[in-house]
């Protein structure tokens, strides 16, 4: 087994990090928009966050498919970081949806 990732694996890991980071940024922007009462922008940002997470999952699926096919990846700090980034972004996105919903409810009272 190689001590380093292949170029394809590195690209998938970087795709995870980039897209997960974009998702978290969009989710934060959704919260800020909702805080200002701009619910149309908040919804747009939540949709963008969801799309970024779909892209991140595509990268992750590629890595999982490779491993299931007998091509395991060397576990590096970068690979662990990418998974941590993805899981944190998923959780943050879920919470952002709840926060936006709360701002909507408060705005209607």
38 marked as binding residue: no
Residue with tokens 């972004």: 89
Given the residues 57, 58, 81, 85, select the one marked as catalytic: 81
- From CA 19, how far away is CA 39, in angstroms rounded? 23
| Catalytic residue list contains 57 | no
Catalytic positions = 81
Pick out the residues of the known binding site: 84
Pick out the residues of the known binding site for Mg(2+): 84
């Amino acid at each position: 087994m190689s001590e380093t990732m292949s170029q394809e694996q590195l690209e998938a890991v970087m795709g995870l990090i980039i897209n997960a980071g974009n998702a978290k940024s969009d989710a934060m922007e959704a919260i800020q928009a909702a805080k200002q009462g701009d619910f149309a922008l908040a919804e747009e940002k939540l949709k963008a966050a969801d799309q970024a997470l779909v892209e991140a999952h595509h990268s992750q699926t590629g890595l999982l498919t490779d491993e299931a096919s007998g091509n395991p990846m060397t576990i590096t700090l970068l690979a662990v970081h990418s998974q941590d980034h993805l899981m944190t972004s998923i959780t943050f996105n879920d919470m952002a949806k709840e926060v936006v919903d709360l701002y909507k409810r408060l705005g209607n009272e």
